[in-house]
A and B are shown apart, each in its own frame.
Chain A
Amino acid sequence: MNLIKSIFKICGAIGQKFFKFLSNIGHFFIFFITAIFWIFRPPWYFKKIFYQIIDIGYFSLPVVGLTTFFSGMVLALQTYNGFSELNNETTVARVVLTSITRELGPVLTGLMVAGRIGAKMAAEIATMRVTEQIDALGTLGTRPMQYLIAPKIIASLICIPVLVLLGNTIGILGGYIIAIFKLEFNPNIYLYATVEYLQWIDIIQGTVKAAIFGLIISMVSCYFGFNATKGAEGVGYATTASVVISSVMILTSTYIITALFFG
């Protein structure tokens, strides 16, 4: 009898968690639709959008640039060491180019921005929520979704694709520097191979990924921030959850997008 009771208890607990999970997905979906609605509805807070673009785009560039630069360098070295029979200009250039433009550039940029900007967005909005600033906004004739959330989403959608394009260029440059100055490849052949293998589909795919990552980072971070509770602990939870879930969603969606483009 006790055993049956325990089984029921465990099943109940699992069921409760499962329904809570479904309910959270439903809440996120409603938040997503509402946020999209407010992106297209005037008035647009251009000053706030501009500040967000500076914060997300300009101030993320050093960290994105450094990450992709060293990734390009590592890729060139590893390709050279790993493919001993194929360690020529063409192979190294092709591997660096394809890896950076298709996967490493967008994914590393997405993860870096999720860590830097996603955490900041979530913490900022969560603090505003727990200190009643969002409630106050609503009583002062301003819609929080339009004033706080929409500028962040718009700026993310603009900035992250640009960051990915710049990150890709810097990553390829990192590979070029290693290939020329350490591996002593012929610069003309390496450059020619890079340009020859550069395909529009790779750039388009990388940009599409970047835009989707921008949407993921801003939506997830704003959602957790906007729904924060329980004071300082809630702000901490919102920040951690936004980074973890954004990162997992970036890695999951990159597979889905790659499968759709090249599957």
Chain B
Amino acid sequence: MENKSNNKIIIEVKNLTKSFNETMVLNDINFKLFEGESLAVIGASGSGKSVLLKNIIGLLSPDKGSIKINNVAMVGLKRSVKEKILLDLGITFQHGALFDSLQNWENIVFKVRNKEKLSNKDAKELAFSIIKRLGLNSDILDLYPSEISGGMQKRVAIARAICGNPKVLLFDEPTSGLDPVTGSLIDKLIKSAVKTVGGSAITITHDMASVCRIADKVILIDKQTISWSGTPKEMLKSDNAKIKDFIKSTNPKLFI
């Protein structure tokens, strides 16, 4: 599955293998993410999708294999260099991982404020300009994460990830726990975030509608490895039993 435009490779995962104690979670994972491409990673719960993401951002070390971001090998890289590379990435975690001792606006501009000096007023304005795009209003800016709903927290986490217009976005289940309308809004935002800055994205999701909206390319992780890959159109026509199950279980028309 090569990229038709022959763009630059942003992320390259080669022969990645990861086990916890005796349990193998990922085995011989290979894929490439090209510039301007949006990749969706699907798979059952516990199939190792989040583990894959954590390996890419260096929170876990693979047992075998290599990970390159912008042609820099991440495994065994000096921490200070790794941190600089991570600064150019926008990441959301599965459960948001918002800092509960900081107000929402401080969460959103956290990374940008580390890079450049911003007054509170400017930082709040920047945070507001982002949450507006996510369908949130300014009331939540001065609240703490614990004072807003789970769906709002998810959107604040996405706002934190896209603040500063990073060129590579990594989302771990960005639409889980959101109503379908907001989910669709988030999908559009991911798509536009990738297009606007000419960036690339990896999105881990269970939502097949979301996959069709945001992805140029899809990979399925099953039984520790990539068992299927293709475009969303190919996915809808696929004979793969797992893919069929996924589509069937998320398409309400098939139940009627």
Going nearest first, the 4 A-B pairs with the smallest beta carbon separation are A136-B97, A132-B97, A140-B111, A141-B114
A residues near B89, Cβ cutoff 8 Å? 139
User: Which of B54, B59, B94, B110 is close to A140, meaning CB atoms less than 8 Å apart?
Assistant: B110
A94-141 residues at the B interface, CB under 8 angstroms: 124, 127-128, 131-133, 135-141
Whether A138 pairs with B59 at a CB distance below 8 angstroms is: yes
The answer to whether B100 has its CB under 8 Å from any CB of chain A is yes
Q: Residue B228 at the A interface, CB < 8 A?
A: no
20 A-B residue pairs with CB within 8 Å: A131-B97, A132-B94, A133-B97, A135-B54, A135-B59, A135-B93, A136-B93, A138-B83, A138-B86, A139-B57, A139-B59, A139-B86, A139-B91, A140-B87, A141-B86, A141-B87, A141-B111, A141-B114, A141-B115, A142-B114
Distance between A149 CB and nearest chain B CB, rounded to angstroms: 15
User: What chain A residues lie within 8 Å of B94 (beta carbons)?
Assistant: 132
Q: Is B233 an interface residue (CB 8 A)?
A: no
Among residues of B, the one whose C-beta sits closest to the C-beta of A51 is: B101
Chain B positions within 8 Å of A142 at CB level = 110, 114
Known contacts A139-B91, A141-B83, A141-B87; is-contact A133 B111 (Cβ 8 Å) = no
The minimal Cβ–Cβ distance linking A33 to chain B, given in whole angstroms, is 16
Per-position binary interface string of chain A over residues 27-64, scored 1 when its CB falls under 8 Å from any chain B CB and 0 otherwise: 00000000000000000000000000000000000000
Q: A128-B99, A135-B93, A141-B87 are in contact. List 12 more A-B contacts (CB 8 A).
A: A127-B100, A131-B97, A131-B100, A133-B98, A135-B54, A135-B59, A136-B97, A139-B86, A139-B91, A140-B160, A141-B114, A142-B114
Residues on B lying within 8 angstroms of A by beta carbon are: 54, 57, 59, 83, 86-87, 89, 91, 93-95, 97-101, 110-111, 114-115, 160
Across the interface, which residues of A come within 8 angstroms of B111, CB to CB? 140-141
User: Does the CB pair A135–B87 fall under 8 Å?
Assistant: no
Choose among A132, A140, A141 the residue with the greatest number of B CB atoms under 10 Å from its CB: A140
Which residues of A are interface residues toward B (Cβ below 8 A)?
Answer: 124, 127-128, 131-133, 135-143
Shortest beta-carbon distance from B69 to chain A in Å: 12
Residues on A with beta carbons closer than 8 Å to the beta carbon of B115: 141
In Å, the complex CA distance between A133 and B59 comes to 12
Contact across chains for B99 and A133 when beta carbons are under 8 A apart: yes
- Nearest-neighbour CB distance to chain A for B82, whole angstroms, equals 9
Please, which residues of chain A bring their CB within 8 A of the CB of B93?
A: 132, 135-136
CB distance from A7 to the nearest CB of B (A): 27
Q: Are A131 and B91 in contact (CB under 8 A)?
A: no
| Bound CA–CA A127/B100 (angstroms) | 10
**Which of A124, A127, A132, A143 is most buried by chain B, counting CB atoms within 10 A of its CB?**
A132
| Distance in Å: Cβ of A35 to nearest Cβ of chain B | 16
> Which of A131, A133, A139, A142 has the largest count of B CB atoms less than 10 A from its CB?
A139
Of chain B, the residue at the smallest CB distance from A137 is B99
A128 to B83, CA, bound (A): 20
In Å, the complex CA distance between A127 and B87 comes to 24
Return chain A residues, CB-CB under 8 Å to B83.
Answer: 138, 141, 143
The answer to whether residues A131 and B110 also contact, given A138-B59, A139-B57, A141-B87 and a CB cut-off of 8 A, is: no
List B contacts of A138 (CB < 8 A): 59, 83, 86
Selected contact of B95 from candidates A131, A139, A141, CB within 8 Å = A131
Name the distance in Å between B109's Cβ and chain A's nearest Cβ.
10
Q: Find the A residue at minimum CB distance from B82.
A: A138
Q: Which of chain B's residues have a CB closer than 8 A to the CB of A137?
A: 99
Chain A residue at minimal CB-CB distance from B59:
A135
Task: Tell me, rounded to whole Å, the shortest Cβ–Cβ distance linking A152 to chain B.
Answer: 13
Across the interface, do A135 and B86 meet the contact criterion of CB distance under 8 Å?
A: no
Task: For the complex, give the distance between the alpha carbons of A132 and B53 in Å.
Answer: 13
Chain B residues positioned under 8 Å from A140 (CB to CB): 87, 110-111, 114, 160
Cα of A137 to Cα of B97 in the assembled complex, Å: 9
Whole-angstrom distance between the Cβ of B36 and the nearest chain A Cβ: 22
Q: Which residue in chain B gives the minimum CB-CB distance to A134?
A: B97
Q: How far is the CB of B93 from chain A (nearest CB, A)?
A: 5
**A141–B99 CA distance with the chains assembled, in angstroms:** 14
Give Cα A188–Cα B159 distance, bound, in whole angstroms: 68
Residues of chain A lying within 8 A (CB to CB) of residue B114? 140-142
Give the shortest distance, in Å, between B253 (CB) and chain A (any CB): 36
- For B98, what are the chain A residues with a Cβ–Cβ distance below 8 Å? 133, 136
